Amino acid sequence: MEYADLLIENHGKVAVIRLNRPKAMNALNDNMMNELGDALYKFDADSAVNVIVLTGSEKVFAAGADIAAMANYTYADTYPGNYIGRNWEHILNVRKPVIGVVAGYALGGGCELAMMCDFLIAADSAKFGQPEIKVGVTPGAGGTQRLPRTIGKAKAMDMLLTSRMIDAAEAERTGLVSRIFPAESLMEEALNVANTIAEMPVSVAMAIKDSVNRAFETTLTEGVRYERRFFHAAFGTPAQKEGMSAFLAKRKANFEGM
């Protein structure tokens, strides 16, 4: 796959998508978001891929929506034109796990895109922020919604209203990222995490992702009912037969193609 604003790497069952507009701090523009949707859908449909990693460069994940492109937008370009809605949220339709791997800045739309991933791994150099207020707009890709759900109202209000950036340690403390690694070993460590997941049965990984996401959309009782259906259905799958018989035989399970 060849893209103008993305770099693609294949690491066995893990596909890595790198945001790549180095001259503009990976600012997210229409072309990049269209390409990102295309790549995500292709990997989601590719039976050779179990896990997708979304990352940027060593310096920046993404410094937000492209301010140069937005500066002259009118209301007609945004609401009728469905700015953001038209191409930023394809990632939410991906059914396989998507790990966001962040080094350097994840600001504005960059932080929002990161929060659309299933979980985040960060370098110790990472900085997260929602500085939209400084350019005279609210966040537009879920910052006012996903940030408070993830780090709580006090921290989210502080970040959104002051535009203060938080570093990797604060991001981990508040639950925005799951793990931090030294910048030098970030990709190696992130690929280890991705490979661990890629060796699991992809169908179960997809069901877990689906169930966890349900937790944010429904009541506890309904969410548990939703999970229970997947659990019961698992007993009709090769993954359950292989996983449990491998455990009893004291051998490593082989979930290839499951």
Lay out the site mask for ligand CAA across 210-229 (x = CB under 6 A, - = otherwise): --------------------
CB–CB of 117/99 below 8 Å? yes
Q: Is 109 a catalytic residue?
A: yes
Interacting residues with ligand CAA between 82 and 111 (CB under 6 A):
84, 105, 107-109
Answer yes or no whether residue 63 interacts with ligand CAA by CB under 6 A.
Answer: yes
Distance from C-alpha of 187 to C-alpha of 100, rounded to nearest angstrom: 11
Nearer to ligand CAA, 117 or 191 (CB): 117
Kindly state whether residue 132 participates in binding ligand CAA, applying the rule CB under 6 A. Answer: yes
Q: Which residue's entry shows tokens 């997708």?
A: 52
How many Å apart are CA 177 and CA 179, to the nearest integer?
6
- The contact mask relative to ligand CAA for 138-167 (x = CB under 6 A, - = no) is -xxx-x------------------------
Residue 225 token pair: 């009912």
Task: For residue 76, count CB atoms less than 10 angstroms from its CB and return exposed for 0-12, middle for 13-18, buried for 19 or more.
Answer: exposed
- Round to whole Å and give the CA distance between 235 and 148: 37
Least separation in angstroms between CB 177 and ligand CAA: 18
Residue ranges in contact with ligand CAA by CB under 6 A: 24-25, 27, 63-68, 84, 105, 107-109, 112, 131-132, 134-135, 137, 139-141, 143
